[in-house]
Structure 1
Amino acid sequence: MTAANQAPDDSERELREQMAARGRSLFERRFTHGSTGNLSVRLNDGILVTPTDSSLGSLAPDRIAKVSFDGEHLAGDRPSKEAFLHLSMYRSRPQEFAVVHLHSTYSVAVSCMAEIDPENVLPPITAYQLMRVGRCPLVPFYAPGDMELAAAVGEQAKTTRAMLLANHGPVIAGKSLAAAVAAAEELEETARLFLLLRGIPTRLVPDFHP
């Protein structure tokens, strides 16, 4: 990953401030809770990722961790223990500049369901789901901290920017932090609609290629 891969026109300081603002917004709107969830953005010499045991509602820009592409802690507080998920996404998707991982309620609920299609957990309910999220497979369950999860995430990320970790939550990438957050919000709202419509005859979006 070279300097050409860095998000255009955004300094590291500006990206830190964006992460704090976006994290606070997600927390205040209950897309995450407690110290769950983590955000990252890609730089030309590594990634910025939220610190371990931190709340997205109260991130201090200067304390956000900086990690090399090899996983070395370079600056800031100790990185999230799930930083390896973010690094795996970036390795498989060099065109993306940000990754959002949440424990958002409706998406987690869907990830716990026994009878969902592991190749694409949500049917095409809205056009915006298809445009912002796309195919969303289910990654099998791994215990927290299991490094095999990184390989599973990386494999799925070769063909999709969004996925649900079984009994855990969504991981989604975007070409900017704003785009990744918007996609995560769309995924959560689609999961909510899916659960509301369970058992109700539903008209799905016809074959549609955004």
Structure 2
Amino acid sequence: MRHDPERDAAAYLAGELSTLRRIRFERHMLDCRACWSEANTAREGRILAESLREAAPASTRERIRAVADVPAESPVRQRARWPYVLAAATAVLVVLAAVVIPQVIERRQPAPLVAAAALLKSNALTLSREPVPAMKTIGAYGWRGTTQRDLAGIPATIYDYVAPEGRRLLVIASSQEFPRARNARDLDPAPSWLARVDEVSLLCADKHGLSWLAAATDDAAALRAGRALGLT
């Protein structure tokens, strides 16, 4: 029997078949590898799209719904435009992947780095005047105090700096090595790196037997701190 697996699978998954035709097609798929493959691939694509949709921001989901919200058409016209629907679905998946995957990577950053980023944003450190850092000023930033913290299992000494307009910079030192961020890019000298973690720029380098982090609101400030401290 000659048939179109793509068309038949699309009609089956869209619920266009009558009860009798649906039963017959399900029996037919047991012996037809092409129809089974078409139906299974389309079903897996729908599941993947749903999983990505749940993780996507609300604004992205609304844009995709607007694109997908087309008027009802006859089964014949729906089958005629099936290739275009597949192309549109592929484009939607590409957009979702571009939006969602970076967010997933961001959520899975090592806990000590997430903790360091949170300290910069909290602005609620209890500071003391000891120990004094080797550099009391880094560019426009002036040292205002030091604290000792455990960053998700890594003991650290944290030097807090502030600029006249209120921007903050943290310089963090530990005898234990900080884990590498998943989205890090290498700096010179290796194995120094720079990454964005939870909207905070982190520069990491090892020097004098210690592991160092510079946490700033932007990459430029983190890089300036790294150069001033001789880390890069």
What's the TM-score, normalizing by structure 2? 0.25
* Larger Rg computed on CA atoms: 2
Higher RCO (C-alpha 8 Å, min separation 6): 1
What's the TM-score, normalizing by structure 1? 0.27
Q: Which has the higher helix share?
A: 2
Q: Which has the higher strand share?
A: 2
